[in-house]
Structure 1
Amino acid sequence: MTGRRRSSPRPLLPHAPAVKIAAAVTCTAALASLLSGCGSLPGAGNSAEREPVTVMTWAPEGTRATNMPGMPAMAQAYARSVNARGGIRGHRLRVLTCNERNDSVAAAQCAQRAVDEGAVAVVGSYSQFGRSFMSPLEVKGIPFIGGYGASDEEFQSPLSYPVNGGQASLLAGNGRQLAADCRRVALVRPDTIQGDQMPSLLDSGLQSGSRHPAKDIKAPEDGTDYSPQVTQALRQVGADPAVYGTAKAGGKAPGACVAASLGDHTDAFFDAFRRLQEDSPKVRVASVLGSVGQALVNRSGGTSGPLEGADITGWYPVADDPRWRPMRKVITDYAFDDNRIDPADQGVQTTWIAYTVLHSLIEQLDDAGVTDITAHGLQATLDRGEHAIDTGGLTPKLRWRDDDMIAVQDFPRIVNGMVTYQVVRNGELVSAQDGFVDVTRTLERRRADDY
C-alpha cells in the first residue's frame, strides 16, 4: 500500500428510526463480545486501516554451517496470522526476509536492505556477525529486537533488545547442570570467535559445583567427521577401556562427561561418538538446545542412541508445554506445508517471542495515541519500559531499562538470565525440573581472568 487509507463512519440517515439505530448498535456490540470476549481480537485493528509496519527477519539458509530457515518462515507465518485479522491495531505487518548465508558481507547487506526498504525494526533474526549488521542499524536508529543471541554485539549495542541470555546463559546453565554429576568434563566447540568464549562460560557453571574447568577441544565449525575430537574428548575425561571396560559390555566411567555445542554439526559429532564409544566405557553427554533437539535425538537412535540420558539446557519451556499452543496454532493455520518450521526449534521459538514483543510495542504506541510507527518510536518505548512485556510465560516479563540489565561483563544487555533444564528420557526431551533456573549470579561471578 502506497498511501494511507482512512475509512469514515457512515453518516446516519436523517429519518432512521432511533430504535433501529439502537438495535444495530446493540447487535454490533453483542457480535464483538461473542467474537472477542468483550474485547478486540488479538492483533486486530480497533480503527481504520493504517500505514503498514515494515520489519525484517534474516537468518542463514542453505549453508555448510548453522542454518536457521525456520526463523524467517515463522516471521512470515506470524504476519499472515495478524494480517488475516486486520493487522496490529490496524497496521498490516510487512515482513522482509534475507538469507544471511553465515557470511559477514551478506549480513551487512541484509542490514542495509532493511534500511533501504524502510524497516522500523529487525525482529527475531540469527547472525554471528553482529559487528557487520549492527552498524548500519545503529546509524539509522533501527532496533534489533529478539535476536538469537549468536553474536556479542546483541548484548552490547544500545539498539539491541535480546529476549534471552544467548549462548552465555545456555553454557553457564549447562555447566551448572553437569556440576551435579561430573568430575571430569570435556567441551567440544567450534574453532570460531564465538566458540572461544564457550569454555569460560561452561566453567562458570561448573565452578558453582566446585568442579574443575572443562577440557577445551576445538573443532571445525563446518566439519563432517569429528572422530578425532571424539577420541580426544574420551581420552581427556579418562574413559579408558582398560580400566572400565567398553560401552558394549556395559562399562561406565563414573563422573566422566562430554559436552558438545557445534550448532547444526552436533549431529555429525554424535554420529562419530556413537561409533567410537563402543570401544570405550559409557560417559554422560550434554549439550544445549539449538545444537541438540528432538529431531536429532530421533535420528541418533532414540532410547538406544548416545543422547539417551543427556543433560540439555534451553532458554524456554519444553516444546510440548501448553504455553506454546498459540504459536502452534499459527503454524498450523498459516504456515501450511512449510517444512522449514519446527515448533521445537529454538530459533523458531525465539522468533515467535520477538514478534510477541513487537506486537506489544505497537499496541503500547497505539494506546498512547501514536498512529505512525517509526524506528525511533519503537526504540523510545523499549528504553522507557513503562510496561513490562508479557510473553505468555515463555520468558519472564521483559523490559530493557538500565535497571533491568544484568551485570555481566561482555554481555551488558542481558535482561533475562533464565534457562530450563531438560533431559533425554526414553528417547524424549522432557523437563528435568519444573520452572526456570536463574543463572544470573553464575554469569555475574564469571571471573575476569577467564575472558
Structure 2
Amino acid sequence: MTGRRRSSPRPIRRATAVATVSVVACGAAVASLLSACGSLPGSGDSGEKEPVTVMTWAPQNTKATNMPGMPAMAQAYARWVNARGGIRGHRLRVLTCNERNDSVAAAQCAQRAVDEGAAAVVGSYSQFGRQFMSPLEVKGIPFIGGYGASDEEFESPLSYPVNGGQASLLAGNGRQLARDCKRVALVRPDTIQGDQMPSLLNSGLQNGSRRPAKDIKAPEDGTDYSPQVTRALDEVGADPAAFGTSEAGGKAPGACVTASLGDHTDAFFDSFRRLQEESPEVRVASVLGSVGQSLVNRTGGISGPLEGADITGWYPVADDPRWKPMRRVVTDYAFDDNRIDPADQGVQTTWIAYTVLRALIEELDDKGVQDITAHELQTTLDEGDRAIDTGGLTPKLRWRDEDMLAVQDFPRIVNGMVTYQVVRGGQLVAAQDGFVNVTKTLERRKTDS
C-alpha cells in the first residue's frame, strides 16, 4: 500500500522545467485569411491589445490520477479564440505545467505562473492545494475553475470554483444510492483526501434514511483490488436473499458497492468483474471522473460490471446539446489530439473555466480596462456586475460573499448542483432530467460520521 499524502508543505527543490508554453495566434502565413479570424462571438473587437497570460496545470504520465486533457483543452481553447483575434482583441497565452501528482511539482507550477506573469490559473487539477495556493495568494493570482480535488479550492479567497468538487459528487452519489440500497460499501483511496469521502457519501445516504457506508481503504495506485472487492462484498452481506423483485421488475433495495479511486477505478472494477459471478446481484456505483464512458467501454459495455451502475456527475451527460460548442472547438482546433476526451469531466471543467475567463475579460473590456491583470480579474470575480452564463452547463455563477453556500469545510462552494446518470445499454445516459441540488445535504453533513 502506498503511503498517505503529506498535509504539510515540503521544501521546493530546483528541478527541471515542468511547464511548456503554448503561444497561439493567427499566423502571418494566413494573413490573407484574417477576415476569417474575426472577433469572438459577442466580442465586437478584433484589434490588438495586451495579451492575457494564464496557466493550466494537471498531472500527466503518473502512476495515480492523470488529467492530460485539461492542459490540452486549454491549448485548443487558446487556438480557437486567437484564430478570431483574441478575446476582445486580447490574445490568450496559455502556459501548461505537469503537476505530476507531487506536492513539490505543484508548488513549482504555481511559482512558474507567478514568474511568467500569469493573470490567472484556469481549469487545473491538483490535490496539493496548500502547496499551490500559497504562491498564488502572495501575488493575488486568482485560481479559476479548478477540478475541486483539494480543500483549499473551497477555502482560499483567491479560489473561484465552478463546481462543488468531490463534496457534491459524493453527497449526490449517496443520495442516488439511498433510493436503491440498504447496505453500501465505499472503496476509496487511503489518502488525506480519501479520508473525507465517507462523511460526504454518508450525508447523502442519511438524506435517504440509510445507514452509513462501510469504509474500505485502498491503495491509490493499486493494480489488483481483489482484497477490497472481497471485503466490500462481505461488508454489505451480498447474497441473493438480500434481494427481491420490485414492481417495476428491477432490483429491490439491497447490497451496493461504490468506488472512487480516480484513474485506478478501472482496476477495481476489473477485479470486481472477476469476482462478480459469486455475487451477481450487487449494484455498483461511482462518480464521474473515476468512471466515464471510456471505462464503461473498456470493461465490456452492456455485458460489463458497470451496466446498471449509478453515476453522479457535475454537468449534463456528454451527448447533451449544450456541449456542442466545446465539441466543435475540439474538432476544429485540437488537431486529433487524443488527450482530449469531450466526455471527461476534467476537459469539461476546463472548458467551463475558460468560458468564465472569457466573460470576465469581456466585462472588463466593457468598462474600458485595457490591461487585464490578476488584480482586475480578482476584483471582477469578487464584485462583478454580472452572473456568468456557462451555456446551461452549470447554474449562472457568481462569487460574491452572498453567493457562497453555508457548507461546513467548503465555504467557497457556489454551485451545489449535480446530475444523476446511469449506465444503460452500455451507455452513460441521464437518470433524470435536470440538476439535483445537494446544498442542504452538504449543510447537514456530520463530519464525525
State the TM-score, normalized to the length of structure 1.
Answer: 0.88
**What is the aligned partner in structure 2 of residue 364 from structure 1?**
363
**What is the aligned partner in structure 1 of residue 419 from structure 2?**
420
Q: Distance in 2 between matches of 1:376 and 1:52?
A: 15
The answer to which of 41-50 and 428-437 deviates more is 41-50
Cα offsets for 1:400-437 (capped at 9, x unmatched): 00110010111000000000000000000000000000
Q: Distance in 2 between matches of 1:123 and 1:357?
A: 9
RMSD of equivalent CA atoms: 1.9
Is 1:106 the counterpart of 2:105? The answer is yes
Q: Aligned-pair distance for 1:448?
A: 4.5
SS at match of 1:297: helix
**What is the aligned partner in structure 1 of residue 5 from structure 2?**
none
- The 8 Å contact of residues 51 and 90 in structure 2, kept in 1 or not, is answered as yes
Cα offsets for 1:163-186 (capped at 9, x unmatched): 000000000000000001100000
- The 8 Å contact of residues 242 and 255 in structure 2, kept in 1 or not, is answered as no
Q: Distance in 1 between matches of 2:84 and 2:360?
A: 18
- The 8 Å contact of residues 240 and 281 in structure 2, kept in 1 or not, is answered as no
Q: Which amino acid aligns with 2:312?
A: T
1:141-156 alignment, distance < 5 Å: 141-156=140-155
SS at match of 1:286: strand
Q: Distance in 2 between matches of 1:128 and 1:400?
A: 22
SS at match of 2:51: strand
**What is the aligned partner in structure 2 of residue 21 from structure 1?**
none
Cα offsets for 1:51-89 (capped at 9, x unmatched): 110000000000000000000000000000000000000
Q: Which amino acid aligns with 1:403?
A: E
| Unaligned residue ranges in structure 1 (runs of 5+) | 1-31, 245-251
The answer to which of 291-300 and 253-262 deviates more is 253-262
Is 1:323 the counterpart of 2:322? The answer is yes
Q: Aligned-pair distance for 1:43?
A: 6.7
Q: Aligned-pair distance for 1:159?
A: 0.1
Q: Distance in 1 between matches of 2:398 and 2:374?
A: 17
Q: Distance in 1 between matches of 2:37 and 2:228?
A: 58
Change (3 A) 1:110 1:243: closer
Change (3 A) 1:227 1:253: farther
Q: Aligned-pair distance for 1:149?
A: 0.1
Q: Distance in 1 between matches of 2:242 and 2:412?
A: 47
Q: Distance in 2 between matches of 1:448 and 1:428?
A: 35
SS at match of 1:183: strand
Q: Aligned-pair distance for 1:240?
A: 3.6
**What is the aligned partner in structure 2 of residue 139 from structure 1?**
138
Change (3 A) 1:243 1:125: closer
**What is the aligned partner in structure 2 of residue 65 from structure 1?**
64
Cα offsets for 1:20-75 (capped at 9, x unmatched): xxxxxxxxxxxx9x999xxx642756153011100000000000000000000000
Q: Aligned-pair distance for 1:447?
A: 1.9
**What is the aligned partner in structure 2 of residue 92 from structure 1?**
91
Q: Aligned-pair distance for 1:281?
A: 3.6
**What is the aligned partner in structure 1 of residue 232 from structure 2?**
233
- The 8 Å contact of residues 388 and 397 in structure 2, kept in 1 or not, is answered as yes
Cα offsets for 1:188-240 (capped at 9, x unmatched): 00000000000000000000110000000000000000000000000001014
Q: Distance in 2 between matches of 1:35 and 1:378?
A: 26
- The 8 Å contact of residues 43 and 88 in structure 1, kept in 2 or not, is answered as no
Q: Which amino acid aligns with 2:279?
A: S
SS at match of 1:366: helix
Q: Distance in 1 between matches of 2:242 and 2:400?
A: 55
Greater C-alpha radius of gyration: 1
SS at match of 1:400: coil
The answer to which of 43-52 and 433-442 deviates more is 43-52
SS at match of 2:448: helix
Q: Aligned-pair distance for 1:254?
A: 5.1
Among the aligned pairs, what percent are the same residue? 87
Q: Aligned-pair distance for 1:242?
A: 9.1
- The 8 Å contact of residues 47 and 89 in structure 2, kept in 1 or not, is answered as yes
Provide the aligned length of Structure 1 versus Structure 2. 410
| Unaligned residue ranges in structure 2 (runs of 5+) | 1-34, 244-250
Q: Distance in 1 between matches of 2:376 and 2:40?
A: 24
**What is the aligned partner in structure 1 of residue 3 from structure 2?**
none
Q: Distance in 2 between matches of 1:263 and 1:134?
A: 22
**What is the aligned partner in structure 1 of residue 25 from structure 2?**
none
State the TM-score, normalized to the length of structure 2.
Answer: 0.89
**What is the aligned partner in structure 2 of residue 275 from structure 1?**
274
SS at match of 1:51: coil
Is 1:266 the counterpart of 2:265? The answer is yes
Is 1:223 the counterpart of 2:222? The answer is yes
